[in-house]
Structure 1
Amino acid sequence: MPNLFLFGATEGGLFDFDATLPLMAVQVVLLTFILNALFFKPVGRVVEEREGYVTTSRAEAKQKLAQVERLEAELKDQLKQARQAAQKLIGDAEKDSDKLYREALALATAEANASREKARREIDSQRESALNQLKADADQLGKLIVDRLLAAK
């Protein structure tokens, strides 16, 4: 194998440092600027817009969640107050109905006692009347018997 270093290097080898290296560097830089301008900036803008949208949506969702939790707490408090008010109304209604029942019972008892007392007085009156009638009849019968016995003698 011939020695290449003696005869000179061939062109286009592995490391050829002629004008192609700066040309390739300029092409890479130019391609980077073109790609950045055409693809990366619009894609970056879209990604930033979406990230902003997601961030805004998350913040709004957190605010709405906090508002929902606050409203839920208020509604639970209102429900608790409504239940207490309903229980108070039920208690008051039970007391009122118990009071009306007792009043009606007392009235009915008083009417029954008055009716019974009236009936007792009427019975006593009729009994006295009957006893007086009976005494009068007995006296008359006694006089009649005495008169007949005396008349028969």
Structure 2
Amino acid sequence: MYCIEFVSLPSSFVSAEGGLFNFDATLPLMAIQVLVLMLILNTIFFKPILAVLDQRDEYIVNLATASRQLAQAEELANSYQTKLAEARQEAQVLVSNAKTEAQNSIAQEIKEAQNKAEKLLLETSKQLNIQQEQALATLEKQIDILVEQISGKILAFEK
């Protein structure tokens, strides 16, 4: 039904001046309309879309940069943690060595003090023994003198 109507178009359509393409004022008008439409679409539609796409690209670049920086920060943090653990271990070894040296030094000083005390005790003991022997020797002399005096008086009294 529609085909029949299309075929039965008036002859003025088919046999118009210029045929199928008419290059009068409609071609420049259509070109101007297309340019105006492009300008309107460009300002209203394409510029905002391009701005959003540019923002998205910038966001993606910033996100990639941020992820790289985050990875670097994590790597640095791990490196610092490792170095900190090593430093703590070294400090612990140094403290342990210093503690051992201090204990050894104190033990040696105590041993030296004990040796000095023993020497002093032996020396004092020897001096006391010498003084005791001297006192006994003087007492024996005095006892001998007193015994002679007493026996001289007893003999003199008996006579």
* TMscore range, shorter length: 0.7 to 0.9
Give 1:81 shift: 0.5
User: Residue 127 of structure 1 aligns to which amino acid in structure 2?
Assistant: Q
Aligned to 1:127: 132
Aligned to 1:39: 44
Aligned to 1:11: none
Give 1:89 shift: 1.1
Partner SS state of residue 57, structure 1: helix
Aligned to 1:75: 80
Aligned positions of 1:4-153 closer than 5 A? 32-152=37-157, 153=159
Give 1:42 shift: 1.4
**Deviations 1:103-135, CA, capped at 9 Å, x for gaps:** 111111011111111110111011001110111
For residues 34 and 81 of structure 1, the distance between their equivalents in structure 2, rounded to whole angstroms, comes to 67
Give 1:70 shift: 0.2
Give 1:145 shift: 1.6
User: Residue 91 of structure 2 aligns to which amino acid in structure 1?
Assistant: A
TM, length-normalised to structure 1: 0.76
TM, length-normalised to structure 2: 0.73
Give 1:68 shift: 0.7
For residues 73 and 116 of structure 2, the distance between their equivalents in structure 1, rounded to whole angstroms, comes to 62
User: Residue 151 of structure 2 aligns to which amino acid in structure 1?
Assistant: V
Tell me which stretches of 4 or more aligned residues in structure 1 moved more than 3 Å.
25-32
Give 1:147 shift: 1.6
Matched-pair identity in % = 25
- Alpha-carbon RMSD across the aligned residues, in angstroms, is 2.1
For residues 64 and 35 of structure 2, the distance between their equivalents in structure 1, rounded to whole angstroms, comes to 41
User: Residue 91 of structure 1 aligns to which amino acid in structure 2?
Assistant: S
Give 1:48 shift: 2.0
**Deviations 1:21-66, CA, capped at 9 Å, x for gaps:** xxxx999966642332222221122112101110111001110110
Would you say how many aligned residue pairs link Structure 1 and Structure 2?
129
